């Protein structure tokens, strides 16, 4: 935990110094102390919210993925299994079709609303009780995802203006984010993290199997429902801020599991730090890898996450 904290702090500091255009370390230090060149001062000022929100988005996705993998006992589980990303995307597409190009606040509001509605539909279709197990929930998520993807494709193919707006949002990016977005999602973000920490002991019992968890006095259905709510809130917040970003919610929980073991009381806070570290580092790489151009961070996480998943499968770290 100490090492993750130090690495996260170092990466956040590095994020303030590195961008799509090279600049001297001394110049950035001058800016941070209030004596820098005005243009560079504006550039560094834009990196601060990008770094803060990148850390928050990465933490939210990693904790959400950790909960989903624990609840479903599926090593390939990630927030998308509940239809969160596609729900947000479908809502943004609908908002764009109805009202034209959306502002940053409008996009965020539609994304948050769509993600929450998608999870609610999945819960209704899959059942809120543990009596039927977790499989109906996963199947409901697959059905909702398939239907919404078909809807999105129909909309973007028939309405060119929707496609023009949607294609930039769908990849996931931290460019241009503002700290004001945090205030708009602070309440669900805090609730999600608190619920994740609250059910850590219940998640440990659930990992032993339903019968064992029940015999230990844990309410399996309540633990699953709270975990799903927490995972949905965190993933919805992350998607609303930065758009759909892949592989953080899938890859980071596996890395944390390898480092911290099976105890969710350690895995959840470690995933918070690890997810923040992973996304901030990916965003720094997205800025410098093709200077002076800049990649969207969602592309970088996909390129890094896919080989990781392949290596994990080949080494047997991911099994079904």
Using one digit for the tens of pLDDT, what is the confidence trace for 228-272? 889 989 998 898 888 888 889 888 998 898 888 889 999 999 999
149-161 residues labelled b (16+ CB within 10 A) or e (exposed): eeebeebbeeeee
Can you give the pLDDT at residue 185? 86
Residue given tokens 């230990």 in the structure block:
216
In the numeric block, which tokens belong to residue 252? 């980071």
Q: Which CATH number fits domain 2-314: 1.10.3720.10, 1.20.120.160, 1.10.240.10, 1.10.3470.10?
A: 1.10.3470.10
- For the cut 80, the answer to whether the pLDDT of residue 273 exceeds it is yes
Residue given tokens 């996304």 in the structure block:
279
What would the mean pLDDT of 161-175 be, rounded to a whole number?
Answer: 77
Can you give the pLDDT at residue 316? 54
Q: What is d(CA 199, CA 226) in angstroms, rounded to the nearest whole number?
A: 8
In 10 A of CB 315, how many CB atoms? 8
User: Do 74 and 135 meet the contact criterion of CB atoms below 8 Å apart?
Assistant: no
In the numeric block, which tokens belong to residue 16? 């303030």
Q: What is d(CA 16, CA 275) in angstroms, rounded to the nearest whole number?
A: 18
In the numeric block, which tokens belong to residue 26? 């001394």
pLDDT tens digits, 287-306: 888 877 888 888 888 888 77
What does pLDDT average to over the chain? 84
Q: What is d(CA 75, CA 69) in angstroms, rounded to the nearest whole number?
A: 6
- For the cut 90, the answer to whether the pLDDT of residue 7 exceeds it is yes
Long-range Cβ contacts of 312-320 (<8 Å, 24+ apart): 312/254, 317/254, 317/258, 318/75, 318/76, 318/254, 319/75, 320/74, 320/75, 320/76
Can you give the pLDDT at residue 123? 84
- For the cut 60, the answer to whether the pLDDT of residue 129 exceeds it is no
Asked whether the whole model's pTM tops 0.75, one would answer yes
Q: How confident is the model at residue 130 (pLDDT cuts 50, 70, 90)?
A: very low
**Where do the structural domains in the chain lie, given as residue ranges?**
2-314
Q: How confident is the model at residue 101 (pLDDT cuts 50, 70, 90)?
A: low
Range with the poorest average pLDDT among 140-144, 190-194, 276-280: 140-144
Q: What is the DSSP letter of 129?
A: S
Q: What is d(CA 241, CA 237) in angstroms, rounded to the nearest whole number?
A: 6
| Percent of the chain that is helix, strand, coil (3-state, to 5) | 80, 0, 20
- Report percent pLDDT > 90 for the chain: 25
Residue given tokens 């799903």 in the structure block:
228
Residue given tokens 């991911």 in the structure block:
318
Cis peptide before 307 (omega within 30 of 0): no
State the maximum Cα–Cα separation within the chain, in Å, rounded to a whole number: 66
What would the mean pLDDT of 305-314 be, rounded to a whole number?
Answer: 70
Q: What is d(CA 72, CA 138) in angstroms, rounded to the nearest whole number?
A: 8
Q: What is the DSSP letter of 82?
A: G
What residues have CB less than 8 Å from 64, skipping those under 6 apart?
78, 79, 192, 230, 231, 232, 234, 235, 238, 249
Residue given tokens 């596996």 in the structure block:
254
Q: What is the DSSP letter of 102?
A: P
Q: What is d(CA 139, CA 145) in angstroms, rounded to the nearest whole number?
A: 10
Can you give the pLDDT at residue 132? 55
- For the cut 50, the answer to whether the pLDDT of residue 319 exceeds it is no
Q: How confident is the model at residue 317 (pLDDT cuts 50, 70, 90)?
A: low
């Amino acid at each position: 935990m100490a090492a993750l904290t130090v690495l996260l702090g170092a990466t956040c500091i590095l994020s303030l110094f590195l961008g799509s255009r090279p600049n001297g370390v001394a110049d950035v230090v001058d800016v941070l102390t209030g004596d820098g060149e005005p243009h560079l001062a504006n550039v560094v000022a834009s990196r601060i919210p990008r770094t803060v929100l990148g850390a928050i988005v990465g933490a939210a996705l990693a904790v959400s993925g950790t909960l989903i993998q624990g609840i479903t006992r599926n090593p390939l589980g990630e927030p998308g299994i509940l239809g969160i990303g596609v729900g947000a995307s479908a809502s943004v597409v609908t908002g764009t079709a109805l009202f034209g190009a959306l502002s940053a606040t409008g996009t965020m509001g539609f994304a948050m609303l769509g993600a929450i509605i998608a999870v609610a539909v999945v819960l209704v279709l899959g059942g809120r009780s543990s009596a039927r197990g977790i499989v109906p929930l996963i199947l409901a998520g697959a059905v909702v995802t398939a239907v919404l993807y078909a809807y999105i494709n129909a909309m973007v193919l028939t309405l060119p203006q929707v496609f023009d707006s949607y294609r930039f949002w769908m990849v996931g990016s931290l460019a241009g984010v503002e700290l004001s977005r945090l205030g708009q999602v602070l309440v669900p973000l805090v609730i999600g993290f608190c619920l994740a920490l609250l059910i850590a002991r219940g998640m440990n019992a659930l990992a032993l199997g339903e019968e064992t968890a029940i015999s230990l006095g844990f309410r399996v259905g309540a633990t699953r429902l709270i975990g799903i709510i927490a995972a949905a809130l965190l993933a919805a917040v992350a998607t609303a801020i930065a758009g759909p970003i892949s592989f953080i919610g899938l890859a980071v929980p596996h890395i944390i599991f390898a480092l911290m073991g099976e105890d969710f009381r350690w895995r959840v806070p470690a995933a918070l730090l690890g997810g923040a570290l992973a996304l901030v580092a990916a965003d720094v790489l997205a800025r410098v890898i093709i200077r002076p151009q800049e990649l969207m961070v969602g592309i970088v996480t996909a390129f890094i996450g896919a080989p990781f998943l392949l290596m994990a499968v080949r080494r047997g770290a991911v099994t079904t």
